[in-house]
Amino acid sequence: MKVLLINGSPRREGNTYLALREIAAELEKQGVDSEIVQIGTKPVRSCIACGQCAARSLGHCIFDDDVCNRVIGQMASCDGLIVGSPVYYGQPNGAVLSLMQRMFYSGGAVFSGKPAAAVAVCRRGGATSAFETMNMAYMMMNMPVVTSQYWNIVYGMDAGQAGLDVEGMQTMRTLAVNMAWLLKKIGSTPERPAYEPWQPMHFIR
């Protein structure tokens, strides 16, 4: 079993990385592999609603000049997903949102049904709204949301300060324990539920 962790901070080894590293270390103790992917500092395209990924049944985004398709490819061999993001103005990093929206829409088949969690890292406030924003996407993808002992939030401003948030780091470890537990439970009965055909309703007749 393997979990893909996405570091949504432009800072390679900042506080978001510290939170994800704590999760990765605990996952290893629980017998689950993990990999941390750095979103980087290069631009991440937003979805332009061209619909080409769906029209051509590509399984990936038609634009291949950023990290999106690489993440989709990596997720195909992973069993769980954790996305960490710094909090900017009470919201996740814009690049994280662009990535999540495009990878779920164009490559949704490799994400659907796999356990997922969000991690928000902030100086002081806005973490709960950023945390909720990321979780919204998981719920639309039929991805079981993995919980912890508290909301998955870590506090810290300067690089390294997140490591001083004793409760936050414990919350990350508990999240990892719950992720490993759920993956093992799913692994023992891997059959997916049978769903009704989707019935979209646009409120326009």
pLDDT in tens, 138-191: 999 999 999 999 999 999 999 899 999 999 999 999 999 999 999 999 988 878
Instruction: Please list the alpha-helical segments (H only) found in the chain.
Output: 15-29, 52-55, 68-75, 94-107, 127-140, 166-188
Structural domain contains residue 28: yes
Domain that holds residue 143: 2-188
Reduced 3-state DSSP string for 53-107: HHHCCCCCCCCCCCCHHHHHHHHCCCCEEEEEEEEECCEECHHHHHHHHHHHHHH
| 106 neighbors 58 (Cβ within 8 angstroms) | yes
Does the residue 204 lie in any domain? no
Domain membership flag for residue 142: yes
**Regarding beta strands 80-88 and 116-122, do their DSSP bridges make them parallel or antiparallel, or are they unpaired?**
parallel
Supply φ then ψ for residue 199, to 5 degrees.
-120, 85
Residue 205: inside a domain, yes or no?
no
Is 193 a member of any domain? no
- Please give the tally of structural domains in the chain: 1
pLDDT in tens, the chain (205 residues): 999 999 999 999 999 999 999 999 999 999 999 999 999 899 999 999 999 999 999 999 999 999 999 999 999 999 999 999 999 999 999 999 999 999 999 999 999 999 999 999 999 999 999 999 999 999 999 999 999 999 999 999 998 999 999 999 999 999 999 999 999 999 888 788 888 998 988 887 6
pTM of the model: 0.95
In a domain, 15, yes or no: yes
* CATH code assigned at 182: 3.40.50.360
In a domain, 198, yes or no: no
Backbone conformation region of residue 31, classed left if phi is above 0, alpha if psi is from -120 to 50, else beta: left
Determine the Cα–Cα distance for residues 65 and 87; give it in Å rounded to an integer.
Answer: 25
> Is there a domain that residue 200 lies in?
no
Tokens of 33: 């592999």
